Each structure stands twice: as structure tokens, then as C-alpha cells.
């Protein structure tokens, strides 16, 4: 493995520091013949947030991806790997330029990215136009595996619909009647709240108010005051990263935790739990992962991740790890020849991965089919309560591949 440096998004990045050597490559046209193409390192673009409210999420995806590549001897499909990293800052406004540079100037073979739904949709557009292979290791924008689905686009994470739809029934079944929702006003927030509300109201619940603030703002006070006035039976929320840490702490500090229980998409407490401390205790969320999933793949993953990073793995690390596993399945099937696109896509679409999250396969739109777990924060961990819904498949509304 080798690395280009991370530089600010729009500045020059080092071109190639691969094992095959810049001198050799400089004299050869890329992919002159399959044999030459396969001798050169595979160029992997990592377009992730390394700064901002989602910085930790991006870093864990990166760490998870690299861990898997290390386990594969530093290779994918038998080829050495060169990384080109871009900090997308979770800013949709620079996303198209960043992705165009990776594809056009840096000539990556595949892009892994990103966390933020708005940034991801800009990447999806470039991937569709250029035919570049894209694996989304987090962003849940429904459209990426809906109307904008494409053969060369895969997701190893979730659709926004998928993670929160099951919670609508869980909360209704718990006898909760009136819920206020709160989130950032952008694609992910709107779609996660939308899917929860769809299932909650279908099961007899009522949404009393939808509260929002612009991404990535964290001035929650006025909205928490509004929740206290509304006195719903419970609150359902989506926040993640640094914003989720502050929201959970502010909610607890306002003293609402006991009278108006807080629920959320699992991103509220995944990767954030340590920083939230006591404030997170007892929070119930749904996600395609729980820390104590007792399957051999998860046990081995958590151990290896800790050994590499000295940190506890979370869903973001798992999604990065699985992105590398998926790519290995695709490239392995074509002996590293990333140009053998149809065969590579066919192998990836048929992949059955023994993921730390449990069984992982893909629907025709290339979105994961996976269990969604109900978890509760206990002893500083997102512990499994039950399977909220097993083998959840996104409806992939609008995707022509289904």
C-alpha cells in the first residue's frame, strides 16, 4: 500500500507514489494492455470528510478500509494499492469538483466515498457520467440506489429509509402515541425522519411536530425548549458525529431524558458514545450494527481494529471494512483487471459477505440487504436488544435495474 498525501480539496495532490514506481508508469500509457494494467497498483480514491462534524466518521471508514486491505496482504484482486485521499469536508458545493479531479486528473480506478448524502449525490452524478466505479461506505441518500442507481454504483452502508423505518413499528408497539422529531435539514435527516414517520403513523402513531435546524449547526436550545412545551410521549432524532455528541448532552442537561425519552437512528450513539458519557445511557436506537453482536466476524473485526488503531470499532469502520471486502470480491473475480467491468460488477452484485454486522448481500439496486437491530446504550456500549426487522430490503423506488 502507498499513499498520496491528504491535501486541501482543491489544491494539487501528489500524483503517484505506487510500488511500481512513477518512472515506469510515466513512460507507459495507462491500461495499454490488461497485463500492464494489472502490474500497476490499483488506484483507490478515498473521498471522505477528514474535517468538520463528520471527521471522525470519515477517519473510521478510512481505517476500516485499510484494515481489510492489510488483511489481504496490502492488495486488492492481487494488485498493490495506491490511495489518493480527498477531504470533502461534508460540503456539497465542492463535491463535483473534488470527484472530477479524482476521476479526471488522478485517474483513480475506483472511488470510496462518502459520509454526507448531499456530497454523495454529486459523486453519484459524476460516477454515472464517467462510468467510474463508486462504492458508498456510508451516505444513505435514497436516490443513490433509487432513481440514480447504476451498475457501477454500490453501497456497503444503508439507505436512509432502511435504518429508521423499523423504528416506527418498535415505538408504536411500545405504546408510544405522540412523537416530536428533530434533525438537521438536509437529505439524510429528511429521509430518515420520513421513513420513521411512514411506519410510525401506519402503526397508529402521530407526529406532533417536525423540528429542524440547518446542517451542521448545533444551537439546539430553542428546539429543546419547544420539545418541553409540546410534551410528546417521546422524541425521535437523527444527528451524527460531533453534532450528535452535543445534542445528546444538551438534551440530558435540559433534564428531559426521564420525562420525554429520546430515540434515534443508531448514528446518534454510534462512534459518539464515549464522548457522550452518562448522557447517552438508556438511549434506544435502530441500526444495522450493535457493538456486542456475537458472531465470529464481529469478534475478529473488533479485535483487529483495536490492534490497528487502539480504538473501538463502530458502524463506520465496519462499512469501510466491508467496502474493501466487496471490492476484493469484484477484483478477485477478474484477477485484478479493473477494466473487465461487467464480470467485476456481476461478482459484486452476487456477493454474500460474512460482515461484522451479520449477513450482508445486495439487492438489484446494489443496496445492502441486512438486519436492522434495536439497541440500547448500556455500560457505554450500543448493546443488542433484539432484531427490529430482519433482512431489511430497501424498496429502491425509481431504480430501473430492479
Residue ranges that bind ligand PHB, judged by CB under 6 A: 54, 57, 115-117, 138-141, 160, 188, 240, 267
Please say which residue, 245 or 340, places its beta carbon nearer to ligand PHB. 245
The CB-of-78 to ligand PHB minimum distance in angstroms stands at: 33
Minimal distance in Å, beta carbon 272 to ligand PHB?
A: 9
Neighbouring C-beta atoms of residue 131, cutoff 10 Å = 12
Residues contacting 21, CB < 8 A, separation 6+: none
Least distance (Å) between residue 298 CB and ligand PHB: 19
Residue 220: asked if its preceding bond is cis (omega within 30°), the reply is no
The answer to whether 399 and 364 are in contact (CB under 8 A) is: yes
Q: Is the peptide bond before 114 cis (omega within 30 degrees of 0)?
A: yes
Cβ proximity of 184 and 176 under 8 Å: no
Q: Is the Cβ of residue 84 or residue 240 nearer to ligand PHB in the bound state?
A: 240
CB of residue 314 to ligand PHB, shortest distance in Å: 10
Report the residue number, 42 or 144, with the smaller CB distance to ligand PHB: 144
Helices (H) and strands (E) in the chain, counts: 13, 16
CA atoms within 13 A on the CB side of 164: 28
- The cell numbers describing 48, all together, are 471522505
Please say which residue, 37 or 126, places its beta carbon nearer to ligand PHB.
126
Question: Which of residues 79 and 155 has its CB atom nearest to ligand PHB in the complex?
Answer: 155
* Of 188 and 195, CB closest to ligand PHB: 188
Nearest-approach distance from CB 379 to ligand PHB, in angstroms: 22
Q: What is the distance in angstroms between the CA of the first residue and the CA of the last residue of the chain? A: 37
To ligand PHB, the closest distance from the beta carbon of 161 in angstroms equals: 11
CA distance 305 to 60: 10
Distance of closest approach, residue 62 Cβ to ligand PHB, in angstroms: 15
CB of 360 to ligand PHB, least distance (A): 17
Rounded to whole angstroms, how far apart are CA atoms 270 and 285? 10
The CA distance from 156 to 112, in Å, is 10
Q: Where are the beta strands (DSSP E) in 74-203?
A: 75-76, 79-87, 110-112, 133-136, 153-155, 178-184
Nearer to ligand PHB, 243 or 336 (CB): 243
Nearer to ligand PHB, 176 or 236 (CB): 236
How far, in Å, CA of 57 to CA of 64, rounded? 11
Helix (H, G, I), strand (E, B) or coil at 318: helix
Percent helix, strand and coil across the chain, each to the nearest 5:
40, 25, 35
Amino acid at each position: 500500500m502507498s499513499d498520496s498525501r491528504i491535501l486541501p480539496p482543491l489544491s494539487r495532490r501528489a500524483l503517484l507514489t505506487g510500488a511500481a514506481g512513477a518512472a515506469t508508469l510515466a513512460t507507459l500509457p495507462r491500461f495499454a494492455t490488461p497485463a500492464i494494467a494489472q502490474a500497476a497498483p490499483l488506484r483507490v480514491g478515498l473521498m471522505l470528510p477528514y474535517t468538520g462534524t463528520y471527521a471522525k466518521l470519515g477517519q473510521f471508514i478510512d481505517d476500516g478500509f485499510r484494515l481489510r486491505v492489510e488483511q489481504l496482504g496490502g492488495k486488492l484482486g492481487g494488485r498493490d494499492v495506491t490511495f489518493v485521499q480527498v477531504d470533502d469536508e461534508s460540503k456539497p458545493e465542492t463535491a463535483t469538483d473534488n470527484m472530477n479531479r479524482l476521476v479526471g486528473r488522478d485517474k483513480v480506478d475506483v472511488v470510496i466515498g462518502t459520509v454526507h448524502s448531499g456530497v454523495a449525490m454529486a459523486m453519484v452524478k459524476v460516477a454515472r457520467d464517467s462510468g467510474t466505479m463508486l462504492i458508498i461506505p456510508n451516505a444513505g441518500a435514497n436516490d443513490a440506489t433509487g432513481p440514480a442507481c447504476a451498475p457501477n454504483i454500490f453501497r456497503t452502508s444503508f439507505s436512509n429509509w432502511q435504518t429508521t423505518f423499523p423504528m416506527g413499528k418498535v415505538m408504536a408497539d411500545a405504546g408510544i402515541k405522540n412523537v416530536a422529531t428533530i434533525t438537521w435539514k438536509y437529505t439524510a435527516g429528511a429521509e430518515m425522519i420520513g421513513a420513521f414517520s411512514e411506519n410510525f403513523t401506519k402503526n397508529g402513531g402521530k407526529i406532533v411536530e417536525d423540528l429542524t435546524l440547518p446542517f451542521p449547526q448545533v444551537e439546539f436550545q430553542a428546539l429543546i425548549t419547544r420539545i418541553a412545551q409540546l410534551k410528546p410521549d417521546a422524541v425521535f432524532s437523527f444527528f451524527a458525529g460531533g453534532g450528535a455528541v452535543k445534542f445528546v448532552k444538551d438534551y440530558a442537561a435540559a433534564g428531559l431524558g426521564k420525562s420525554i425519552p429520546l430515540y434515534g437512528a443508531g448514528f446518534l450513539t454510534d462512534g459518539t458514545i464515549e464522548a457522550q458519557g452518562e448522557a447517552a445511557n438508556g438511549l434506544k436506537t435502530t441500526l444495522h450494527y450493535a457493538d456486542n453482536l456475537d458472531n465470529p466476524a464481529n469478534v475478529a473485526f473488533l479485535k483487529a481494529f483495536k490492534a490497528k488503531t487502539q480504538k473501538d470499532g463502530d458502524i463506520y469502520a465496519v462499512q469501510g471494512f466491508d467496502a474493501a471486502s466487496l471490492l476484493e470480491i469484484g477484483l478477485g473475480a477478474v484477477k485484478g483487471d479493473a477494466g473487465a467491468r461487467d464480470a467485476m460488477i456481476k461478482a459484486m452484485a452476487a456477493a454474500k459477505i460474512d460482515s461484522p454486522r451479520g449477513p450482508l448481500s445486495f439487492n438489484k439496486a446494489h443496496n445492502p440487504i441486512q438486519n436492522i437491530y434495536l439497541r440500547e446504550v448500556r455500560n457505554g456500549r450500543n448493546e443488542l436488544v433484539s432484531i427490529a426487522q430482519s433482512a431489511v430490503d430497501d424498496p429502491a423506488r425509481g431504480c430501473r435495474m430492479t
